[in-house]
Amino acid sequence: MLKKTIGMGGFTLAEVLITLGIIGVVAAMTMPTLINSTQGAQYKTAFKKSLTVLSQAVVMNIALNDYDLSQIVAGTNIPKNGGALPAGGLGAQSLYDIFHNRLNIVREASGGDFDTTAGSADQWLIVSDTDAGDRSTFSTTHKGEATIFKTNLETAKKFPEATTILMMNDGIAFIFDNTQANCQKANTNIGVADDNYCYGFIDVNGQKAPNRVVQCDPGTKSDTTVDDETTCTVSSPTDIYPIAMYDQSVIPATPAARAVLYNK
């Protein structure tokens, strides 16, 4: 007896292609957000780690050399292009001495050792080529004064030659002006009338892009404001963070950096 074969239904080629197309569109829409979220989390974690490492360096220096940030003296910046150190070194008891002696440093340089030539091994732009506002933020958040970080930022878009850069073994760079001194918070009990914070920057992934200063989301308070703006939020953390240093503390220097630290 012949048995009747029951046909098995299946998808046509057109249906499969349509399904794959829909999947592709959804992936294209969600992948950038997922990637940005992952990078942002990595930047945030690296920033928190960096603050801890720098703070521990200060505490260790107090234990071993018996002085903190309030007692540092103005040093000399790293010579350009590997030149000889100045007579007397870079300044005993300076910012450089505290952090160079207590961190695992694999390379050090001045800002002038880096250029903006595309493809150069020393290319290290401060921020995006097209974002003049971001470059302005980078300079104005450095104490809001006419410091070395303002020099040529709008034209050269790179670290000024007078900048000291210490690069750690985990790829994080600590960027600062080694001529700063007596970093301390106001304390009338010891005769210090005003805050005298010292400032610098943490670049959590060194020379790698995006080299963007962290900023508040559009519509929230500007992170160039000196006051702590509680409304600032940062939905997409970037890789450069302004920091302030005083006494035994290393803290975020702008509302945007604080927002990242405290997950706002």
pLDDT per residue as tens digits for the range 99-139: 998 999 998 888 777 665 655 665 565 554 445 555 555 55
Instruction: Domain of residue 178: give its range.
Output: 32-261
Separation of alpha carbons 116 and 118, rounded Å: 6
pLDDT at residue 143 in the model? 45
Please give the tally of structural domains in the chain. Answer: 1
Report yes or no on 40 lying in a domain.
Answer: yes
Mean of the pLDDT values across residues 58-65?
94
Report yes or no on 105 lying in a domain.
Answer: yes
Mean of the pLDDT values across residues 67-78?
89
pLDDT at residue 99 in the model? 93
pTM: 0.75
Residue 229 has pLDDT above 90, yes or no: no
Tell me the backbone φ, ψ of residue 162, rounded to 5 degrees.
-80, 5
Report yes or no on 3 lying in a domain.
Answer: no
pLDDT confidence tier of residue 156, bands split at 50, 70 and 90: low
Residue 145 has pLDDT above 80, yes or no: no
Report yes or no on 7 lying in a domain.
Answer: no
pLDDT at residue 152 in the model? 46
DSSP category for residue 9: P
Separation of alpha carbons 162 and 92, rounded Å: 18
Most confident of 32-41, 50-59, 98-107: 50-59
More confident residue, 169 or 87: 169
Report yes or no on 11 lying in a domain.
Answer: no
Q: Is the peptide bond before 210 cis (omega within 30 degrees of 0)?
A: yes
Residue 76 has pLDDT above 50, yes or no: yes
Q: Closest Cα to residue 177, out of 244, 250, 87?
A: 244
pLDDT confidence tier of residue 144, bands split at 50, 70 and 90: very low
Report yes or no on 24 lying in a domain.
Answer: no
pLDDT at residue 32 in the model? 61
More confident residue, 229 or 213: 213
Percentage of residues in the chain having pLDDT higher than 90: 22
Tell me the residue type at 16.
Answer: V
pLDDT digits (tens, 9 = 90+) for 3-22: 555 555 667 877 778 888 88
Residue 148 has pLDDT above 50, yes or no: no
Tell me the backbone φ, ψ of residue 179, rounded to 5 degrees.
-90, 0
pLDDT confidence tier of residue 164, bands split at 50, 70 and 90: confident
Report yes or no on 141 lying in a domain.
Answer: yes
More confident residue, 130 or 242: 242
- Can you give the C-alpha Rg of the chain in angstroms? 25
Report yes or no on 85 lying in a domain.
Answer: yes
